[in-house]
A and B are shown apart, each in its own frame.
Chain A
Amino acid sequence: MNQRPLSPHLGVYKFAYTMALSILHRITGVASTVGFLVFAWWLMALSSGPESYAGAMRLLSAPISKLLLAGFAFSFVYHFCNGIRHLVWDTGRGLERAQARRGGAIVIVVALLLTALALWLGCAALARGAS
């Protein structure tokens, strides 16, 4: 058995919701990576001609795809908002507990509102030019 000292394990801390926001930043980051791969694939489909683009859009408009896209939208928007929170922390500001909690609450509310707005506009954009 390794006898080297260990830092306190995550499990010893009382749960604070900012912990959930922290791990959510990673999860939404990885989800956005999948979104980036879809973005590259979509650009390739668009550059390959009308048939391949129509095929890609058909695939992206399927009910299951729409559900996934909604998930990507939230993931991306959350990562975007919380990323700004991280950049603010990098300047040394907002690190007090109360400030971190308030920042987290703002991120959640803004992310949910922006996701709703993006989904609404996205549905309209998908309806335009639909055959």
Chain B
Amino acid sequence: MSLRTPLGKVLGKGSAGDGVAHWWTQRVTAIALIPLTAWFVIALLGMPLHSYEAMRGWLGQPWAAVGTLLLAIALAWHSWLGVQVVIEDYVHAKGAKTTMLLLSTFLHFAAVVAAVFAVVVMAVAS
């Protein structure tokens, strides 16, 4: 005998209520991050990292800015989902778990807004 409602069975969303969305988004961002991180790391390793002018000049270019924006967003999203799973798996005390999940969410949003803001400022100012 199943205790699941007929509607629940049809929707197929499981106990968390959002089906495979979390799992799937983790994969989508992972696939996006393969070319994005490879491009960014390779580009960065070929640059004079100590030169402010060179770095600003590079990030002032439209395509470099767009790529870096996509990278920052995909990284934040993937990291946010991943850290959430790690916290849910190892922190079982309800209060500590909720606090850490909130902190992780705030930290990820703050970091991605900062990164996006910085790149947009540099692209517009150059």
Contact = CB atoms under 8 A, between A and B. Distances in A.
Interface string A48-63: 0010011001000000
A30 B117 CA distance: 24
B118 A43 contact: yes
Interface stretch (A14-22, A79-87, A92-100, A102-110): A79-87
A83 to B, nearest CB: 6
Contacts of B27: 87, 90
Contacts of B68: 43
A26 B48 contact: no
Interface residues of A, number: 35
Given A46-B59, A130-B50, A87 B30 contact: yes
B114 A44 contact: yes
Taking chain A's interface residues, is the majority helix, strand, or loop, or is none over half, making it mixed? helix
B54 interface: yes
A53 B55 contact: yes
14 contacts: A30-B83, A32-B79, A36-B79, A37-B107, A39-B115, A44-B118, A57-B50, A80-B34, A86-B30, A118-B45, A121-B46, A128-B48, A129-B48, A131-B50
Interface of A: 26, 29-30, 32-33, 36-37, 39-41, 43-44, 46-47, 50, 53-54, 57, 76, 80, 83-84, 86-87, 90, 118, 121-122, 124-126, 128-131
